[in-house]
Copies of this chain bind each other. A is one copy, B any other.
Amino acid sequence: VSTIKQVAAHAGVSASTVSRVLNAHANVDALLARRVRESIKQLEYQPSPTARALRRRRSHVWSLIISDIRNGFFGEVARGVEDAAQDSDLAVVLCNTDDDLERERAYVDLAIAERVAGVILSPASASQTSVTRLAEAGVPVVLIDRAIESDDVDLVAIDNRRAAAGAVRHLIGEGFRRIACIGGPATASTARDRIDGYREALTEAGLPIDPELIVLDSFKPEGGMRAASALLALPDRPDALFICNGPQCAGAIPVIRSLGLRVPDDLGVVCFDDESWAALTSPDITTVAQPAYEIGREAAAILSRRLLDSTGGPRRTLLATELRVRSSSRRLTHAGA
């Protein structure tokens, strides 16, 4: 709780000199530097991030703008971001939008007003985006998880279409034929891409695409519950469910149970996001595992690089996913397995 002036006085130098040793600004006499460092230690001096931010016109925080930290996926992401931030002596401010465009906009405006060092954003909508506002204000942004229509911004995500197609192909390979899809809100790019992948796999296998079997709802447990209820009440019931995110899956499971359906015999299940509990249910659930922690960490790394060198075009970084096959989708006896 001492200031740079006090340190300067204590060391018998000017504040500028202290500032110079603090910022490793070469050209400081070794002896003086040592004296300054000594004083810093004795006075337990810590530079004020606030004053620095005002002077440098750039604060030492990153904004992490996501829909909901309670979603296990974003918990992992947040941890990845924070671990990286800590290495760069940055703080992370957490912003939950619930995919509400108003809240997203408010947080973006705050980030601009605060002149944050960077924003890591999972945009609620691919079309109505606040990214341009950030660009205009000169605030570096990295998108995570979801893309937007304009592609002049860094992105760290996975290949959603491909991962979804792989999951559905797996279901087809296990003999499921009437595969339904529980999707997310049409505004999110991930929701669209995953459904595209679902369609692609069906088409590829010569299976019909029945619009009745595609139900969109929110990416939350309630959404999964509603969608599953609707799908499983169909006269011609699907024989498998491809669920587009983890929370939705958590909402769908009780519905499946309450109907007394046996998984995978009556109903195959595969879902996105390998949440920690997916292996704990019975039967355990086949999932598309995303490297959530790495997504956060990589987004942070890109942001750090942008701070040092803002040149270079936007980069799309797609990390690998993994289909974790478990009992909920395994219907064939695999010889030798």
| A interface residues with partner B (beta carbon < 8 Å) | 1, 46-51, 53-54, 59, 61, 64, 68-70, 72, 75-76, 78-79, 82-83, 91-96, 109-110, 112-115, 137, 221, 247, 250, 253-254, 275-277, 279-282
List B contacts of A280 (CB < 8 A).
Answer: 250, 253-254, 277, 280-281
Contact between A281 and B276, CB atoms less than 8 A apart = no
List B contacts of A69 (CB < 8 A).
Answer: 69, 75, 78-79, 82
List B contacts of A51 (CB < 8 A).
Answer: 54
Q: Which of B54, B94, B282 contacts A50 (CB 8 A)?
A: B54
The CA-CA distance from A47 to B93 in the complex, in Å, is: 18
The CA-CA distance from A281 to B69 in the complex, in Å, is: 23
The CA-CA distance from A267 to B216 in the complex, in Å, is: 41
List B contacts of A94 (CB < 8 A).
Answer: 64, 78, 82, 92-94
List B contacts of A47 (CB < 8 A).
Answer: 113
List B contacts of A46 (CB < 8 A).
Answer: 109, 112-113
The CA-CA distance from A277 to B254 in the complex, in Å, is: 11
Q: A50-B114, A78-B69 are in contact. Are A92 and B91 (CB under 8 A)?
A: no
- Most B Cβ at <10 Å: residue of A50, A94, A95, A250: A50
Q: Which of B54, B113, B281 contacts A277 (CB 8 A)?
A: B281
Q: Which residue of chain B has its CB nearest to the CB of A276? A: B250
Integer count of this chain's copies in the complex: 2
- Pick the 7 closest A-B CB pairs, nearest first: A277-B277, A46-B113, A282-B282, A50-B53, A94-B94, A70-B75, A91-B93
List B contacts of A1 (CB < 8 A).
Answer: 112, 137
Contact between B75 and A91, CB atoms less than 8 A apart = no
List B contacts of A277 (CB < 8 A).
Answer: 250, 275-277, 280-281
The CA-CA distance from A279 to B250 in the complex, in Å, is: 9
Contact between A76 and B82, CB atoms less than 8 A apart = no
> Could you show 19 A-B contacts with beta carbons less than 8 Å apart?
A1-B137, A49-B113, A50-B53, A50-B54, A50-B115, A61-B93, A64-B94, A68-B79, A69-B78, A69-B79, A82-B95, A82-B96, A83-B96, A91-B93, A92-B94, A94-B94, A276-B277, A277-B281, A282-B282
Q: How far is the CB of A228 from chain B (nearest CB, A)?
A: 13
Q: A109-B46, A115-B50 are in contact. Are A76 and B70 (CB under 8 A)?
A: yes
Q: Which residue of chain B has its CB nearest to the CB of A57? A: B50
The CA-CA distance from A51 to B48 in the complex, in Å, is: 12
Q: Which of B70, B113, B275, B281 contacts A48 (CB 8 A)?
A: B113
The CA-CA distance from A162 to B186 in the complex, in Å, is: 47
The CA-CA distance from A79 to B94 in the complex, in Å, is: 9
The CA-CA distance from A95 to B82 in the complex, in Å, is: 8
List B contacts of A59 (CB < 8 A).
Answer: 50
The CA-CA distance from A49 to B114 in the complex, in Å, is: 6
Contact between B279 and A281, CB atoms less than 8 A apart = no
List B contacts of A61 (CB < 8 A).
Answer: 93
List B contacts of A112 (CB < 8 A).
Answer: 1, 46
List B contacts of A113 (CB < 8 A).
Answer: 46-49
